Amino acid sequence: MKRGFTLIELLVVIAIISALTAIGLPVMRRVREQAGETVCRSNLRQMALMVKTYGNDHDGLLPPPGYIYHSRESFSDDWTKVYLPCCRWHDARMGLDSSLLRQEHPELRGSLWAYLGDVQIVRCKVGYRANAERGCHNLCMMCGHDPQIDVVPQYTYTMSIYLHTTLTTGRSETDSMADGVDARTIRRTGIYKETQVTRSPSEVFVFGEENSWAINTAGQQPTGPIPQWEASYDLSGKYYPFVGMHGTIGSPALDIQTTYQISDKKLVRKEHYEIGDAFATCHRPRKGDLNTGHSYVSMLDGHVRQVTVADQLRRSRQVPFLPESRLGPGGNLHLAWPLNVPPPGGWENQ
């Protein structure tokens, strides 16, 4: 006669299976996270390589960051009325694999379109999920926002705007920032080729990830019923109706700005909302709070490095429970600034 399992034996087996599952699930989750991050880092390396390939084909020039996905012509009045610039990052109608770009209007393709191959390379799955969950918050008067456009992230990587621009630098006449700028030190330097970058290529980022929501103490991003969407530290500027939501993914360029600018030979401190953008924070967040994670950036020499929340905080934004930035004064601006000459006001004042 066959003997069946007793209730105690079944409970023991169930308890063992439950214990193994409790141990295994976190491990499997970490493995999936690591696999996703590996793909994301690989994508960023390939994006950096595309920029170098573009330079080889265009006399060493760097591609204009604002037009790497969509051409300059695509931002004419006729096109922006329908395809809002603030919403293009999630507008599948004008995505890189849309029929609009592939077949109907090739003139709308950005400068890196020909080098992409598989368009999935511009999307990190972690950032894709986080940005799709949070939605679009680019509610600005300059280009508006259409809530009828589905949030289907078309790219999560954006290029450093400092790699195709003219930078103004200078030093104060004394150690006090209240004094004017020594006119003899003012320089305007064009950075349009990698050869014009005077810092080491391993110290300047070319591509990074961005959130679709702003991280700031004012909690300007819609918080709804989830209070942890607010952060007790600031990685972006406050909402300003003529500019929009700083820190959020909108255009294909990461606009990280200096705290001070030169105006009439004086150092002028910018308003809080003009501070600029921040890198994403959605990888491996603490306790599910997407404001507390990290992201990755690819440097001009092709290697990829991690950027934490603390790395992005400038001295003026340090908070007690986060460590000092490993990047030193200047925070995330340190990764963007391509010149040996410090920005206006010096690194220590950023």
Give the pLDDT confidence of 100-156 residue by residue, as tens digits.
999 999 999 999 999 998 889 999 999 999 999 888 876 554 556 677 889 999 999
pLDDT mean over 270-276: 74
The three-class DSSP label of residue 130 is helix
Burial of 208 from C-beta contacts in 10 A (0-12 / 13-18 / 19+): buried
pLDDT band at 224 (very low <50, low <70, confident <90, very high): very low
Q: Say if residue 225's pLDDT is above 50.
A: no
- Residue 94 φ/ψ, nearest 5 degrees: -120, 25
Q: Say if residue 244's pLDDT is above 80.
A: no
- What is the average pLDDT score of the chain? 84
pLDDT band at 273 (very low <50, low <70, confident <90, very high): low
Predicted local confidence at residue 226, as pLDDT: 47
Predicted local confidence at residue 5, as pLDDT: 64
The residue type found at 151 is V
Q: Say if residue 341's pLDDT is above 80.
A: yes
pLDDT mean over 209-218: 82
The three-class DSSP label of residue 175 is coil
In this predicted model, which residue has the larger pLDDT, 36 or 101? 101
Other Cβ atoms less than 10 A from the Cβ of 87: the count is: 23
Range of lowest pLDDT (55-64, 175-184, 229-238, 321-330):
229-238
Q: Write out the two tokens for 76.
A: 């004419």
Q: Say if residue 22's pLDDT is above 80.
A: no
Q: Say if residue 206's pLDDT is above 90.
A: yes
pTM, whole model, 2 decimals?
0.85
> Is 41 in contact with 296 (CB distance < 8 Å)?
yes
Other Cβ atoms less than 10 A from the Cβ of 270: the count is: 16
Q: Say if residue 297's pLDDT is above 90.
A: yes
Would strands 295-299 and 304-307 be described as parallel, antiparallel, or unpaired? Answer: antiparallel
Q: Which residue has the tokens 């931002």?
A: 75
pLDDT mean over 264-271: 82
Range of lowest pLDDT (26-35, 163-172, 212-221):
26-35
pLDDT mean over 317-345: 85
Range of lowest pLDDT (5-14, 26-35, 198-207, 307-316):
26-35
Predicted local confidence at residue 44, as pLDDT: 96
Other Cβ atoms less than 10 A from the Cβ of 80: the count is: 15
pLDDT band at 25 (very low <50, low <70, confident <90, very high): low
Predicted local confidence at residue 177, as pLDDT: 63
Q: Write out the two tokens for 288.
A: 């599910």
CA distance linking residue 116 with residue 69, whole number of Å: 10
Range of lowest pLDDT (178-187, 224-233, 280-289):
224-233
Q: Say if residue 49's pLDDT is above 80.
A: yes
